[in-house]
Amino acid sequence: MATWGYGNDNGPATWVKSFPVAAGTRQSPIDIVPTAAKCDTKLTENPLTVNYSPEPAMELCNPGLSVKANIKSKSVIKGGPLEGEYKLEQFHLHWGSADKQGSEHTLNGKMFPAELHLVHYNATKYSSFGEAVDKPDGLAVFGIFLKISDKPHQGLKSLTDVLSEVQYKDKSINIKQEYNPVCLLPDNINKYWTYLGSLTTPPLCESVTWIVFEEPIEVSEDQMKAFRALCCGECGSAPIVDNYRPPLPLGNRQLRASFQ
Ligand SMILES: NS(=O)(=O)c1ccc2oc(=S)[nH]c2c1
Ligand SMILES: [Zn+2]
């Protein structure tokens, strides 16, 4: 059974064969057109709140198509478009082979070099990520654009400095220093777009309330090079690059904005 990926033979255009929901009506990512978004004051009446805690020994792993940090501590979000409390499960990234591409969501058709996803599950209604992953109100994912600057991102530096230790598939390490994922969020989390969508990788479940922040976080070119040095398999395998799904039609979904 051919496993899905981002190549010509197993990439996004082929996923519908094994995952028919790929042709569904609430798929992600989408192109975000700010002028088409409806400013919804309900989003600000009940502001999005983030209550993240420090991770004592955060596990960083290379599952083969991205790099992922698994969260054990109680880090939760609520408010904004969300009903109930959502618990942080993991975060990971998508990036390009060059700065001109890499993000999954686009902004007026523009791709960013990378996009960070912080994945939460509805802990009010479900007892685990696994139970929540295929429920329409199961997940909430923060989408954060990365843009290039001459300074490295300090919060990401604790991770990019050790990526060489998870260069190959199925490698994992523990980040020694205590790590609070709140350092990954942009300064202003009150300006975001939100819509009902899906996982952007198989099984593509239509279970995600997406919250995409307007403010990108800034990373250095060297940090991007560190992501691009990760390998899909063992020593000598291809680098993990262009692990992004291109945007899908918004269809008759409403894109809401938390700001004017
Ligand atoms: N890229 S993403 O939409 O944030 C996302 C988040 C969680 C996931 O769990 C599985 S399985 N695939 C996933 C994709
Ligand atoms: Zn993702």
pLDDT in tens, the chain (260 residues): 479 999 999 999 999 999 999 999 999 999 999 999 999 999 999 999 999 999 999 999 999 999 999 999 999 999 999 999 999 999 999 999 999 999 999 999 999 999 999 999 999 999 999 999 999 999 999 999 999 999 999 999 999 999 999 999 999 999 999 999 999 999 999 999 999 999 999 999 999 999 999 999 999 999 999 999 999 999 999 999 999 999 999 999 999 999 99
- State residue 119 phi and psi, 5-degree precision: -100, 120
Ligand located closest to 198 CA: 1
Q: Do the domain assignments include residue 6?
A: no
Q: Do the domain assignments include residue 1?
A: no
Residue 128 CB burial class (10 angstroms; 0-12, 13-18, ≥19): exposed
- Beta strand 256-257 pairing with 172-174: unpaired
Length of the chain as a residue count = 260
**Number of domains the chain contains:** 1
Q: Residue 71: which domain range?
A: 12-257
Q: Do the domain assignments include residue 87?
A: yes
Q: Do the domain assignments include residue 5?
A: no
Nearest-atom number in ligand 1 for the CA of 129 is: 9
DSSP, collapsed to helix, strand or coil, labels residue 115 as strand
Q: How far is C-alpha 230 from the chain's CA centre?
A: 17
Contact 116, 217 (CB under 8 A): yes
Q: Do the domain assignments include residue 3?
A: no
Q: Which of 34, 107, 77 is nearest to 258 (CA)?
A: 34
Residues with CB in 5 Å of ion ligand 2 = 117
Ligand located closest to 141 CA: 1
Residues having CB closer than 6 A to ligand 1 are 117, 119, 141, 199-201
**Which of 92, 119, 131, when mutated, tests ligand 1's pocket best, judged by the most ligand atoms within 8 Å of its CB?**
119
- Kindly give the distance from the C-alpha atom of residue 29 to the centroid of ligand 1, in angstroms, as a whole number: 11
CATH number for 247 = 3.10.200.10
CA distances from residue 190 to 27, 80, 142, 255 in whole angstroms, order as listed: 24, 9, 12, 16
Bridge partners for 212 per DSSP: 143, 193
